[in-house]
Structure 1
Amino acid sequence: MEQPKKNTRRLGLILAGSTFAVLALILVVSLTAYYLTNRETAPQTSIITGVGPLDMVSPDRIDPALALAGLGGMADIEVIRQAVDQARPETALAGVLYQPQLTDRQTAGSFLQLARIFSAGEKPSPEAVGKAVFCYRSAGNTAILSPDLPDAARADIFIQVGEGLVGVGQPEWAKFYLQQALTIARHSPYLQAAQRRTIFQRLHQNYLALGERELARTSLNLSANPPSIGKADLLPPVLPPVEPVALPAEVQEAEANRWLRAQELAANMVELGGKAPRDRITALKEALLEEDRLKSEFLAQSYENETRLSKRIDITAARINWLTLKYRTARRGYGLSLVPEWEAQSDQLRTELTKSYERLFALYADLVIALPEVSQIDRAMYEKLRREVLAGELGRYPRYPEEQRRQQLVDSASRLAETQPEPGIYIGLDTVGDKTVYSLKAIQPDSE
């Protein structure tokens, strides 16, 4: 008796998928033409210093037609790429900050691209320069804190950040990030000889541009005579990667319906020159509310029924992804008002998101403690703290316990530097101007 019902669901998903594919194709073509004639202008007003990362996004400058593509099923990194290509920096910035599923490489790379857009032109506005600095520093912070990036990629990011910060009049910060690359080149055992030499050569040119003649001379000498460090194999992460949660057919149907409604709204906005039809907004709102009801119930029940730590982590990560989408919607992070009910609950959603992150990293801590070897426990805790602090620093983990985690991360790094010195570099603290920042520290002192 159940077979007809299953077939109906399967047919519904197939039809929804086919319709979505057609709409997606139409939308991509329409958006391309629309963007070429409606390029985003640079921000005009000044940034208030000290704002949180999410407050760097200006919702009124987000292109809704493009941002909605993410709600319509397009991969978020693809939405970001299109926004960058079409000079929609606010749209791309929202995509980066509100997307915890991006890899650290994607996050840092996107920040670098955005920084260049914000700082482009003969005389960018003070706000645009401020956002460029924010993006450059966010890319650099990602490179420092990420446990996943290889050191060659880390050094490349640091050099690009340093070069960019020179261009926007931030020589002190530029010198700091170039020093991070220098630390890697001098002490990382994970670089090939050619990579090490290339980093020193690039640093030589950048230090000359900064007027740092002594550091330029040191880099030049090191490029000719690189440190003799044996090449080591990079240890894989200890913590397991998050796996996607399989959704039941009912939730998949609700998700597919949301994709369709978002695609329809975006397509209509393109056709109407940016105007959002009220009936299309209502249809998307209803689809989001229904998906929220079904998905939230499913994830909550799945968590209660699951006993394995790794699976509970997967479920909690899925909940974070969904809550982030809701929180972005509540803050008009898609460029328009979609669900007023969520906007009224913005503070509550932020609290729920914070609690979900707290649960996620508590589960990771339980997983770490269960590891069989002390050396694994120390490495895994260091890795867990790096992920947690990075999520907080990027604003994805709202109101994370910054001071407490900072001290824990530094203590964890110090302990590893004593017991497992092989990587040669661990995270510490430094001061740039009047700001305390994370930095990479060499275990052994530099030698000429």
Structure 2
Amino acid sequence: MSVLDTLKERGFVQQLTHEEEIAELLAKEKITFYIGFDPTADSLHVGHFLGMMVMAHMQRAGHRPVCLIGGGTAMVGDPSGKSDMRKMMTQETIRNNGERFKVQMQRFIDFSDDKALMLNNADWLLKLNYVEVLRDVGVHFSVNRMLTAECFKQRLERGLSFLEFNYMLMQGYDFLELNRRLGCIMQMGGDDQWSNILAGADLIRRKESKPAYGLTFTLLTTSDGRKMGKTEKGALWLDAEKTSPYDFYQYWRNVDDADVEKCLALLTFLPMDEVRRLGAFKDKDINIAKKTLAFEVTKLVHGEAEAEKAQQAAEALFGGKGALDNAPTAAISPETVGTKLIDVLALTGIITTKSEGRRLIQQGGLSIGDIKVTDLDFLLTADLFDNNSVLIRKGKKGYHRIVIA
């Protein structure tokens, strides 16, 4: 089975520029390909993880990935899938974010002995001469054709800045530059990047008279079309400091039944026979598949030891077995004991605002140990602690341990 067959079977592939040529190419040759990652935050999120799984499958089949950090393109901002212009960032912020990306990517991709490369498009984009780019690159882009691209069409009514309009040229130029430097002949990306990928492949064909290819993979969405990876705290980050391994584990443990098989196929390396076996479970048995999904994805992102800790914490909290040592824990000083519970929860970050805490209490969604909290002025007193520890339940599945340090 070729890597393209693998990607198709697991549900990655959405669109290809030249399907028969790509199938033959990936089966018979070892190619250099790239995926771009704009460092618009200080951590990768679960949407990026999908792209890294594609890279990993390709690398395992002998192809060479180029992880392109968008230090230059991030200064403009990709309008694809965005209803408003991205917030402008300083070069220093972009550079620092890119460094964080590098560290995280090394968990998934083998960069030893040039098996993969990591580059930053700031190295060439920030040195370009504007007039030369217009003459050398801009001449090959039709404005009429660009305006038909989905990434621009959905923004025209609300307003599209000339700054963002240049993004397609910049991404196209990246592909051309990587083709010239490394012989990179394929760009991959999420399906919202289709127009930009086409532009780059077309630019190479026009400028270099060489073939170039594009492939897009599915976006990570639920069975009813909603974007996956959103939590009440925001994005599902791959950085343990922004999303703890336990919270990360719990996200996958609680996905909808209808999404389990899809997530197992896309986000783990389990053989497809096992994916289909687990995906066929119904009713209570589907929880076996969810636990497998949560463990496997957490293991890939945070390592096996952290996955085991998260699993043990979940079993202790929900299954009544195992130690609570690995549950999400917040420490308070002895002086804090005896103050209002809402104040303590806000102080420790268990709730984002006191308004959230009041709402939880009024709706019956806050418990401390076995006691449901009904009083807005409920005090966190010393008698509630057992061995300097107390368990808070927020909503149906949000458990947190408070300890006196």
TM over 0.5: no
Q: TM-score w.r.t. structure 2 length?
A: 0.23
Say which structure is richer in helix: 1
Which structure has more RCO (C-alpha within 8 Å, separation ≥ 6)? 1
Say which structure is richer in strand: 2
